[in-house]
Structure 1
Amino acid sequence: MNEATGPILYTIDGAIAVITLNRPEKRNALDDELVAGLNAALRRADADEAVRAVIITGAGKDFCAGADLRQLERIAERSILENLRDAETLMELFLNIRRVRIPVIAAVRGRALAGGCGLATACDIVLAAESARFGYPEVKIGFVPAMVMAILRRNVSEKRAFELIARGEELSAAEAERIGLINRVFPDESFASEVERYASTFADRSRSAVVLTKRLLYQMDGMSFEAALRSGADTNAIARMTEDCRQGIARFLSRTQR
Structure 2
Amino acid sequence: MTYDTLTIERAGHLATVTLNRPDVRNAFNEATIAELTQAFSALGVDASVRAIVLAANGPAFCAGADLNWMKKMAGYTHAENHADALQLATMLRTIYECPQPVVARVQGDCYAGGMGLVAACDIVVAVDEAQFCLSEVKLGLIPATIAPYVIKAMGEQASRRYFLTAERFTAATALHIGFAHEVVAGAALDARVAEIVKALVTNSPAAVRQAKTLVRDVAGRPVDDTLVDDTAARIAAIRASEQGREGVASFLEKRKPTWLSQVIS
Instruction: Give the shorter-chain TM-score range.
Output: over 0.9
Q: Whole-Å Cα distance in 1 between the matches of residues 229 and 63 of structure 2? A: 41
TM-fit CA distance, 1:190: 2.0
Cα distance in structure 1, aligned partners of 2:199 and 2:254: 22
> Could you tell me how far apart the structure 1 residues matched to 2:27 and 2:170 are?
20
Q: Residue in 2 aligned with 1:84?
A: 82
**Cα distance in 2 for residues equivalent to 1:36 and 1:157:** 28
Q: Which residue of 2 aligns with 1:240?
A: 239
Alpha-carbon separation, structure 1, partners of 2:192 and 2:139? 36
Q: TM-score, normalised by structure 1?
A: 0.94
Write out per-residue CA displacement over residues 204-248 of structure 1, whole angstroms, 9 at most, x where no aligned residue. 100010111111211124533223323212211121122221111
202-211 vs 232-241, which moves further: 232-241
Provide TM-score, normalisation by structure 2.
Answer: 0.91
Count of aligned positions: 254
**Gap runs ≥5 in structure 1:** none
1:217 is aligned to 215
CA distance in 2, matches of 1:121, 1:155: 6
Maintained 8 Å contact 1:131/1:173? yes
1:177-192 → structure 2 map (5 Å cutoff): 177-192=175-190
| Contact kept in structure 1, 2:115 and 2:150, CA below 8 Å | no
* Residue equivalent to 1:231: 230
Structure 2 residue 201 is matched with structure 1 residue 197: no
Per the alignment, residue 176 of structure 1 pairs with 174
Instruction: State the alpha-carbon separation in 2 of the partners of residues 24 and 152 from structure 1.
Output: 24
- 3-state SS, counterpart of residue 160 of structure 1: helix
Deviation at 1:4, TM superposition (A): 4.9
SS in 2 for 1:100: coil
> What CA distance in whole angstroms lies between the structure 1 residues aligned with 2:36 and 2:110?
16
Aligned to 1:140: 138
Contact 1:125-1:183 within 8 A present in 2 as well: yes
Match of residue 29 from structure 1: 27
The change in CA–CA distance for 1:221 and 1:147 in structure 2 (over 3 A counts) is: farther
The alpha carbon displacement at 1:152 in A equals 2.1
Aligned to 2:109: 111
Distance 1:174 1:122 in 2: 20
Paired residue type of 2:80: E
Partner residue, 2:93: 95
Corresponding residue of 2:47: 49
Contact kept? 2:61, 2:108, Cα under 8 Å: yes
Partner of 1:157, secondary structure, is helix
Asked if the contact 1:16–1:200 (Cα under 8 Å) also holds between the matched residues in 2, the reply is no
Q: Give the letter aligned to residue 242 of structure 1.
A: S
Mapped to 2, the partners of 1:178 and 1:142 lie a distance apart of 28
2: CA distance between counterparts of 1:153 and 1:228?
Answer: 23
**Which position in structure 1 is the counterpart of 2:129?**
131
* Runs (5+) with no aligned partner, structure 2: 256-265
Corresponding residue number in structure 1 for 2:260: none
Question: What are the superposed Cα offsets for residues 32-63 of structure 1, whole Å, 9 maximum, x if unpaired?
Answer: 11111111111121121111111111111111
Identical columns (%): 31
Task: Indicate how the Cα distance of structure 1 residues 13 and 255 shifts in structure 2: closer, same or farther if over 3 A, else same.
Answer: closer
State the match for 1:152 in structure 2. Answer: 150
2:4 partner amino acid: G
1:70 correspondence with 2:68: yes
1:20 equivalent among 15, 18, 21:
18
Alpha-carbon distance in structure 2 between the residues aligned to 1:156 and 1:59:
25
Query: What is the Cα deviation at residue 145 of structure 1?
Result: 0.5
User: RMSD over aligned Cα, in angstroms?
Assistant: 1.5
**2:106 & 2:198 partners in 1: Cα distance?**
17
